[in-house]
């Protein structure tokens, strides 16, 4: 979780605590209670709708925390993770780099299943990003539904950030000859839920983040958990994230 998200979640609690130190009743009690309710609803929506994260060996990896890193002088990522990376075997097909973001994302996934869109935002056209580029779909392979999320983000030129961290425990972690950084792994937070994902940080600062969950619904009651593991392998997720499709 990023410092901004932590601050945003902690602020309502801090304000409420401060307010409780003053006992006198005020005539705007109803108005203040209404504003407080709105803050709580916004916080809950942010917790549900924020980019999900994957924790590996105590290190939390997510799009908002692992923003593409750039050096103030070169504009390129620095301090690559240690080399434990293995190239993926799966080879995604070549698909058009325009049109629906969901259709582009779904077309890169293995042909053994089919997908349905949950939500998408932003656009990706010939390598250009517009808006907040993210998509969430459910992948069905005949055994149940797996939620898969995609986020593509370019660095903020006014906000220097850090490179991807190589977690103490991870399935994959390394740097390609061209400087592209890769971190991938899986995590079991409990209650049958399994998360797996990969982050790819290219030398130009573009970050591709793909996560999957062994449930067909991340919002309503945790969804169903029909699968012991998500349908897609880390090899397949890594291959999709590394696909030249997402290059500038």
Q: Are residues 42 and 57 in the same domain?
A: no
User: Residue 100: what pLDDT?
Assistant: 97
Q: Are residues 235 and 215 in the same domain?
A: yes
Q: Are residues 144 and 213 in the same domain?
A: yes
Q: Are residues 117 and 203 in the same domain?
A: yes
Q: Are residues 18 and 73 in the same domain?
A: no
Q: Are residues 226 and 186 in the same domain?
A: yes
User: Residue 187: what pLDDT?
Assistant: 87
Q: Are residues 68 and 185 in the same domain?
A: yes
Structural domain of 10: 3-47
Query: pLDDT: is 20 or 92 the higher one?
Result: 92
**Does the pLDDT value for residue 60 go beyond 50?**
no
User: Residue 24: what pLDDT?
Assistant: 47
- Residue carrying structure tokens 């969804």: 223
At residue 173 the predicted structure's pLDDT band, cuts being 50, 70 and 90, is: confident
Q: Are residues 61 and 37 in the same domain?
A: no
Query: pLDDT: is 92 or 9 the higher one?
Result: 92
Q: Are residues 107 and 157 in the same domain?
A: yes
Q: How far apart are CA 111 and CA 106, in angstroms?
A: 9
Q: How far apart are CA 155 and CA 164, in angstroms?
A: 13
User: Residue 166: what pLDDT?
Assistant: 73
Across the chain, what does the average pLDDT equal? 74
Q: Are residues 190 and 230 in the same domain?
A: yes
Structural domain total, the chain: 2
Q: How far apart are CA 201 and CA 175, in angstroms?
A: 9
Q: Are residues 170 and 220 in the same domain?
A: yes
User: Residue 29: what pLDDT?
Assistant: 46
User: Residue 161: what pLDDT?
Assistant: 55
What pLDDT, in 10s, does the model give residues 8-23? 454 445 444 444 443 4
What pLDDT, in 10s, does the model give residues 38-52? 554 444 444 333 333
Q: Are residues 40 and 67 in the same domain?
A: no
What pLDDT, in 10s, does the model give residues 188-216? 888 888 999 999 999 999 999 999 999 98
């Amino acid at each position: 979780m990023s410092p901004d998200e932590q601050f945003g979640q902690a602020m309502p609690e801090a304000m409420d605590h401060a307010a409780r130190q003053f006992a006198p009743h005020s005539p705007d009690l109803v108005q203040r209670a209404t504003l407080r309710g709105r803050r709580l609803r916004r916080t809950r929506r942010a917790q549900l709708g924020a980019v999900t994260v994957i924790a590996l060996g105590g290190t939390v990896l997510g799009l908002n925390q692992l923003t593409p890193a750039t050096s103030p002088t070169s504009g390129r990522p620095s301090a690559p993770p240690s080399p434990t990376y293995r190239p993926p075997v799966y080879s995604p097909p070549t698909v058009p780099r325009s049109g629906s973001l969901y259709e582009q994302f779904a077309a890169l996934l293995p042909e053994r299943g089919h997908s349905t869109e949950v939500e998408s935002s932003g656009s990706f056209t010939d390598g250009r990003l517009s808006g907040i580029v993210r998509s969430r779909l459910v992948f069905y392979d005949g055994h149940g539904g797996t939620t898969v999320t995609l986020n593509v983000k370019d660095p903020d030129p006014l906000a220097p950030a850090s490179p991807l961290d190589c977690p103490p425990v991870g399935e994959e972690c390394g740097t390609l000859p061209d400087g592209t950084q890769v971190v991938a792994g899986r995590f079991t937070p409990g209650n049958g839920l399994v998360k797996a994902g990969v982050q790819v940080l290219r030398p130009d600062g573009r970050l591709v983040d793909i996560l999957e969950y062994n449930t067909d619904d991340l919002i309503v009651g945790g969804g169903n958990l029909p699968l012991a593991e998500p349908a897609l392998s880390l090899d397949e997720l890594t291959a999709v994230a590394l696909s030249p499709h997402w290059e500038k």
